Structure 1
Amino acid sequence: MISYLPRYIFNFVFFTLIQVLVLNNIQLSGYVNPYLYILFIITLPFETPGWLLLLLGFSSGMVVDIFSNTPGMHASATVFMAFLRPYVLRLFAPREEYQPGTIPTMGYYGVSWFLRYSIILVLGHHTFLFFIEVFSLTHFFSTVLRVISSSALTILLILVAQLFSQGKKQGR
């Protein structure tokens, strides 16, 4: 992981800046809010220890909270997603386990695997975030609609980001 450190620092800064400067200003009818910054946690190496995963989740969420004026909501949702990540990885682990030195991306494990993996984490993050934002079940169906629509756009953006990074690695 040490050899990848500059790459992950760049990813953290890049995804946070894109989130804060561009994506936080996109709200379609109040139902669609894309959150690309969570791709930083999704693509961390398999060998990342649990404590570091939670710390990085808290840090990335807190930075977005500071710029979004949402005290602790993104931090708690991103920590929840970081907590879920090892269980989701175990759920989708190949028979021969994950190859050492690989990371959970489309380039290493394919589109199908990456979609299943990222959809569960994105849905977990968005469900936690939007229900903690409302903090009530009175608007249950409108909150579920926000979770689904925002998750769909976030997953689309994640796939586009993965295609760009995959194209760069293969020299396209």
Structure 2
Amino acid sequence: MGKVIIFNIVRFIALIAMQVVLFKNIGYYNLATPFPYILFIFLLPIGTSNFLLYLFAFITGLTVDAFYDSIGVHAAACVALVWFRIFFCNITLDVDVQGSFETPSLGIMGNKWFFSYISIGTLIHHIVLLHVEYFSFSNYLSTLFSILLSSIFTILLIILMSLLFYKRKSRLLGN
């Protein structure tokens, strides 16, 4: 248990540092901006209580907001992401798996489950993030285009990071 906590603290610091130092300055004409820091929320253990998930998401979002000089935009998007995570895990995982303390990674959950989990969650995060950030219906098509491109960019980075640290273990779900 202590090993999991330390590993998640290191993961939090590493992902936030990469987001602030590296990915803050990467973008494609202000249309596609990656936000791979949300991988921290995706990889929190399955059995984490809902209160702690919301708390970690809020803290993660506020930390990124502090570096981006935004007021609660990332915090709101991270809380929406946790809402999706709880809903998705409740409808797709067995009760005995929900009580486990496994990390929902590519090697444990399988390809289909993990890719749908990452893709839908990233899309929800980006929809909330960019709608709250722009808060306007003028140029709505460019907002939707930015959501789509940023989501694709973030999903590709998250999958790349997941493949770099891929460990083949026994599957909790079938492929």
Structure-1-length-normalised TM-score? 0.91
Partner of 1:123: 123
Taking the aligned partners of 1:128 and 1:30, their CA distance within structure 2 comes to: 17
Worse-matched range after superposition: 48-57 or 99-108 = 99-108
Q: What is the SS of the residue equivalent to 2:110? A: helix
User: 1:89 — aligned with what?
Assistant: 89
Q: Does residue 143 in structure 1 map to residue 165 in structure 2? A: no
1:141 deviation in Å? 1.1
What is the CA-CA distance between 1:98 and the residue it aligns to? 4.9
* CA distance, structure 1, for counterparts of residue 40 and residue 158 of structure 2: 10
The residue identity in structure 2 corresponding to 1:58 is: F
CA distance in 1, matches of 2:97, 2:16: 31
For 2:12 and 2:62, locate their aligned partners in 1 and report how far apart those are by CA, in whole Å.
Answer: 12
Structure 1 unmatched runs, 5+: none
Contact 1:45 1:103 in 2 (8 A): yes
Structure 1 partner of 2:74? 74
Which deviates further from its counterpart, 77-86 or 151-160? 77-86
- Structure with greater contact order relative to length (CA < 8 Å, sep ≥ 6): 2
Contact 1:92 1:117 in 2 (8 A): no
TM-score, reference length from structure 2:
0.90
C-alpha distance in 2, partners of 1:52/1:101? 13
For the 8 Å contact 1:88–1:120, the answer to whether it is kept is no
RMSD: 1.8
Structure 2 unmatched ranges of 5 or more: 170-175
Q: Tell me how far apart the structure 2 counterparts of residues 149 and 92 of structure 1 sit (CA, whole Å).
A: 27
**Is structure 2 residue 40 aligned with structure 1 residue 40?**
yes
